[in-house]
A and B are shown apart, each in its own frame.
Chain A
Amino acid sequence: AQKITQTQPGMFVQEKEAVTLDCTYDTSDQSYGLFWYKQPSSGEMIFLIYQGSYDEQNATEGRYSLNFQKARKSTNLVISASQLGDSAMYFCAMREGRGNKLVFGAGTILRVKS
């Protein structure tokens, strides 16, 4: 069974607009962490934002924010004021297990149009 589901293979957004990338997760753990990473065409994995399962406030980091809905097991990434440099693959991931491994979703390719 998929533990991290990203249902949008690709998204387009107009420059300066906001965009929401969806992510749902499945876990029976009470304590877990949720992450978003950006992978530009150059290939590196860039950490964007983190949400702990016990955090009551939605995480924010500059233009990135999370819409964390624990009961629905979703952690959607909102990018405000999109820029051309935001064009990349975006991965949602969940930390689980005693080894703190990250389980990744399949990713969403975001294209920002000028």
Chain B
Amino acid sequence: EPEVTQTPSHQVTQMGQEVILRCVPISNHLYFYWYRQILGQKVEFLVSFYNNEISEKSEIFDDQFSVERPDGSNFTLKIRSTKLEDSAMYFCASSEMDTQYFGPGTRLTVL
């Protein structure tokens, strides 16, 4: 069964460093998303992406964040200058229509 994949599973970085989180959505899906979940808290929407452009972003998704679909398969989230409060699980999701399927997540730890 097709699934969303994410790499790496765990990323440790120093505050102020740039990180790129990678996702491979399900191949026939057209809509892509990033969410994050701070430990013990609810899942929060970051950004949605369709037709090679951002369709919606949350207040969390400020100038330090960017997304890109560099080729036909990958979907990336870049955090330019990480802060301690960026430590969280980051989920990529994709959908064909209604249902969003989530990847296994990347746990980002900022030291």
Taking Cβ atoms with an 8 Å cutoff, the residues of A that contact B are 33, 35, 37, 43-47, 50, 52, 91, 93, 95, 97-107
Quick one: given A104-B44, A106-B42, are A47 and B31 in contact (CB under 8 Å)?
no
Q: Is the CB of B42 within 8 A of A33?
A: no
From B44, B102, B107, A47 is in contact (CB under 8 Å) with B102
Smallest Cβ-Cβ distance to B104: which chain A residue = A44
The interface stretch among B15-23, B71-79, B93-101 is: B93-101
Which residues, 84 to 111 on B, are CB-close (under 8 Å) to A?
A: 89, 91, 93, 95, 98-105, 107
Shortest C-beta distance, B33 to chain A (Å), equals 7
A95 to B63, CA, bound (A): 25
Quick one: given A43-B89, A45-B43, are A102 and B100 in contact (CB under 8 Å)?
yes
Shortest C-beta distance, A2 to chain B (Å), equals 10
Q: Give the total number of A-B pairs whose CB atoms are below 8 A apart.
A: 65
A107 to B103, CA, bound (A): 19
A83 to B102, CA, bound (A): 23
Question: Can you list, as one digit per residue, whether each of B19-35 has a CB less than 8 Å from chain A (1) or not (0)?
Answer: 00000000000010101
Q: Is the CB of A44 within 8 A of B98?
A: no
Q: Is the CB of B100 within 8 A of A47?
A: yes
**Main SS of the interface on chain B?**
strand
Q: Is the CB of B35 within 8 A of A35?
A: no
Smallest Cβ-Cβ distance to B58: which chain A residue = A101
B66 — which chain A residues lie within 8 A by C-beta? none
Interface pairs A-B: 8 shortest CB-CB: A99-B56, A99-B48, A45-B102, A99-B55, A101-B45, A104-B43, A44-B104, A104-B42
From B31, B42, B43, B98, A50 is in contact (CB under 8 Å) with B98
A37 — which chain B residues lie within 8 A by C-beta? 102
Query: Could you list some 28 contacts between A and B, CB below 8 A?
Result: A33-B98, A35-B99, A35-B100, A43-B89, A43-B107, A44-B104, A44-B105, A45-B91, A46-B102, A47-B100, A47-B102, A50-B98, A50-B99, A91-B42, A95-B98, A97-B56, A98-B56, A99-B48, A99-B57, A100-B31, A100-B100, A101-B33, A101-B48, A101-B56, A102-B35, A102-B100, A104-B44, A107-B42
